Chains A and B, each alone.
With several copies, the nearest count.
Chain A
Amino acid sequence: MDPKVKEEIENIIDLFKRSNLGEFEIEKEGIRLRLRKDIPAISVESTGTAAKPAIEKETEKSEKTETEEDLIPIKTPMVGTFYQASSPEATPFVEEGDIVEAEQVVCIIEAMKLMNEIKAETRGRIAKILVEDGHPVEYGQTLFLVKAE
């Protein structure tokens, strides 16, 4: 994007932020910008009562870097407990820096006493392990970030 245009948009957003407006729309030279403030009840700066999710939402942070670095997430398809190895004594399935092949088991999710193997979908290098061994995970949570090779 033209840096001048970008700056202009930033200015407008800033203006809007400082205003009491709920909605804002502007069209100029082929660019239409629409801003809206709301979703008050679930705003981030909400007071003490807000739920503190028990499970760290590392996904949010990581998914930003991911886009920048072309990282592919491996997510859990079920709720359960994350294990890096098949037993406490065993060596982990994978560690950061390892190359994994498609269909290779990367971890286990225990759900209702059953051990479910989670597999990589494509070949790549484990860039980041996002959950600690033995920690609970929720549906859809990102477990690993993989850099395609």
Chain B
Amino acid sequence: MFSKILIANRGEIALRIIRACRELGIGTVAIYSEADVNSLHVRFADESICIGPPPSSSSYLSIPNIISAAEVMDVEAIHPGYGFLAENAHFAEVCESCGIRFVGPTPENIRAMGDKIEARKLMKKAGIPVIPGSEGVVKNKEEALSIVKKIGYPVMIKAAAGGGGKGMRIAHNDVSLANAFLTARTEAEASFGNPELYIEKCIQDPRHIEFQILADKFGKIIHLGERECTIQRRYQKLIEESPSSAVDKKLRKKMGDSALRAAKTIKYMSAGTVEFLLDREGHFYFMEMNTRIQVEHSVTEMVTGIDLVKEQIRLAQGDKLRYHQDLIKLNGWAIECRINAEDPENDFLPTPGEINICQFPGGPGIRVDSHIYPSFYIQPFYDSLLAKLIAHGADREEAIARMQRALTEFEISGVKTTIPFHSTVLNNPLFIRGKFSTGFIDRIWSVKAKSEEA
């Protein structure tokens, strides 16, 4: 077992990793920027070290400062969490070259899935369905137009280095295609330093279904069933569940097998997620693979009873995977709401500031993963996730009832949060009946906004 791990992250995920380490008896080192000196991850870690000023670029993204911190604190491994350096192959390499274990996949794994165009080619070759589209990079709008002639509108323009909805544009006709192509390129260049784009056909009313993977370095690999992350806004996930009301046993087997094949194709090692789009006819398409622990990993933990962060650490140590595919069972139903410091009535603008009251819900089936507390100051430098509220029930109906109940108990004052937004969704009849696609929020929330204006 590792004796000490440095957590190269902040917020709820840093706390999540500290909790896993404590339960495993592993010492923890928190890193923090000057803005985070009063954070819970600093408080609950065994040791802590300031690594830079508030901006992420000089602190949580500063590889030299983080590696130095790991060296002076004498840790054996670094857990990158999600975001920041979690999918930075170079960082994973630097760790290894400094003799520090990176808690995640190999640099090769990260690279293979990091370039979305190459990943798509690899998957197609491995026989995994991909969304119809360009073979590789689309160089200019003329080439884009000729591709669309073949696959038809609407299409999605995506960045090769993409992620998180950046450099992504939809086009419905030749005019919008030309515009969308240029803006997507500018955005991709600005966001990732790589302007390369590719094109895929738009799947109508799709659902976002992803499979959790666990793989050891000996080639053993399993999946832990699916998560549904269809409730999104501008490609940002807001509500996740496991299992999905759109996936039956047969489809789970089929998609799970594809997810395993995707991971095996690149000799994946560690915890990871294979994301698919599922269309109205039950066809599914590979979208991308995330080579990190994800925000929504918790819903899989609730239904499988497996602590994913602990397993991820064990796998990074070189342990054999302790589970077998046929013993994985999904017990009940879990839903997660991301409580963000955003104003849902004002276009989800971030609401930095000081939290006054902060009262968490409790009782049966409720889990809260959060780094906030009364008088916590929400910094403007980082993302707006305040808490993950997770409800687990015997079935979807009970999970929804518990989530509705817990949302009424959850009180945060001082800043606006997405709690009221989640209450609206959780009480929406279509949501309750499991009838939705990725456009659901844009539809119901803009209608709501309009009806309130009227």
Q: How near does chain A come to B267, taking the closest CB pair, in angstroms?
A: 29
Q: A32 at the A/B interface (Cβ < 8 Å)?
A: no
The 0/1 profile, CB within 8 Å of B marked 1, for residues 110-122 of chain A is 0110000000000
> From DSSP, what is the main secondary structure of chain B's interface residues?
mixed
> Considering the chains assembled together, what is the distance between the CA atoms of A41 and B40 in angstroms?
8
Quick check: B408 and A48 within 8 Å, CB to CB?
Answer: yes
Docked pose: A139 CA to B34 CA in angstroms: 9
Across the interface, do A51 and B373 meet the contact criterion of CB distance under 8 Å? no
Given A49-B408, A51-B45, A79-B51: A38 touches B374 (CB 8 Å cut-off) = yes
Bound form: Cα–Cα A141–B49 in Å: 10
Chain B hits for A41, CB < 8 A: 40, 43, 357, 359, 373-376, 411
Whether A138 contacts B50 in the complex (CB less than 8 A), given A51-B42, A112-B67, comes out as: yes
Majority SS of interface residues in chain A?
loop
Contact residues in B for A43 (Cβ distance below 8 Å): 357, 413
Q: Given A52-B47, A139-B50, does the pair A40, B359 have CB atoms closer than 8 Å?
A: yes
Check B356 against A80 for contact (C-beta < 8 Å).
no
Tell whether, in the assembled complex, residue A140 and residue B44 are in contact, meaning their CB atoms are under 8 Å apart: no
* B38 close to A79 (CB less than 8 A): no
Number of B residues, CB within 8 Å of A: 41
Interface membership of A3, Cβ < 8 A: no
A20: Cβ under 8 A from any B Cβ: yes
Q: How far is the CA of A72 from the CA of B275 in the complex (A)?
A: 55
Asked if A148 CB lies within 8 Å of chain B CBs, one says no
A side interface size, CB within 8 A: 31
A81 an interface residue at 8 Å Cβ cutoff? yes
Contact digits for A33-52, partner B, Cβ 8 Å, 1 yes 0 no: 00001111111001111111
Complex alpha-carbon distance, A139 and B47, angstroms? 15
Stretch at the interface among B68-76, B195-203, B233-241, B390-398: B68-76
B237 → chain A closest CB, angstroms? 25
One digit per residue, 1 when the CB lies within 8 angstroms of any chain B CB and 0 when it does not, for chain A 78-103 equals: 11110000000000000000000000
Q: A20-B354, A41-B40, A42-B38 are in contact. Are A53 and B48 (CB under 8 A)?
A: yes
Assembly CA distance A90 to B300 (angstroms): 58
Query: How near does chain B come to A148, taking the closest CB pair, in angstroms?
Result: 25
Q: Which of the residues B45, B51, B356 comes within 8 Å of A139, measured between beta carbons? A: B51
Asked if residues B48 and A79 are in contact (CB atoms below 8 Å), the reply is no
Bound CA span A42–B34, Å: 15
Looking at the assembled complex, report how far the CB atom of B230 sits from the nearest CB atom of chain A, in whole angstroms: 27
B-side residues, CB < 8 A to A, are 29-30, 34, 37-38, 40, 42-53, 59, 64-65, 67-69, 71-73, 98, 354, 356-359, 373-376, 408-409, 411, 413
Interface pairs (28), CB distance under 8 Å: A20-B37, A41-B43, A41-B357, A41-B374, A41-B375, A41-B411, A42-B38, A42-B43, A43-B413, A46-B43, A47-B411, A48-B408, A49-B44, A50-B43, A51-B42, A51-B47, A54-B48, A55-B49, A79-B49, A79-B51, A111-B68, A112-B64, A112-B98, A136-B72, A139-B51, A139-B59, A140-B50, A141-B50
| Inter-chain pairs besides A41-B411, A49-B411, 9 sampled, C-beta below 8 Å | A22-B375, A40-B374, A41-B376, A81-B71, A111-B64, A111-B71, A136-B72, A139-B65, A141-B50
